[in-house]
Structure 1
Amino acid sequence: MPAPLLLDLSHTCHTRARTGIQRVSRALRRELGAAAQPVTHDPYAGVWRPLARWEEANLTAPGSAGRRGARWPWSARARGWLAA
């Protein structure tokens, strides 16, 4: 079995912005489907990991965000700090 393709969605899964790179990242995720494993770098835990449900939901959320920056909820930060 070939090694899985890891798709880094670290920024895109933490924002609902719909600008250039976010559109490309979402399109790649949609087109690659199960052929790629979406991952994110968790700076609070200091590890690469698969996306959590809330991060997957950000990728498919309708509409756009008022801000383009990536945002980490406090609960995700706390889980990372406790895991580190």
Structure 2
Amino acid sequence: MMDVQFMYEGLVEEEDELVGKLTACEGFMWILLENIARSSAFVEEIGERLLTELNGMEQEWRTELLHLRLEKSLLAGKMRDGTSESMKRGDGAE
């Protein structure tokens, strides 16, 4: 049971890191869009390429976050089931 809880806590940390990356990525995209609106055609071309790259990174991270959250849900179910079994036995063992 402790291994499952340890794994779950690790996933929580990974989730926080991914959410931070996504937040930063969105911020960069908005900054870039604001700069494109005030720029020349040359900057627009570079900006579009950068936006496309950032969008690709964002999609990869969102997919990774989805799979991480699925794994986290499965571990939460194992922890819940393990707790229920311990309570049924009445011994508090894990």
Higher relative contact order (CA 8 A, sep 6+): 2
TM-score, L = length of structure 1: 0.31
Higher helix proportion (structure 1 or 2): 2
Under a length normalisation based on structure 2, what TM-score does the superposition of the two structures give?
Answer: 0.28
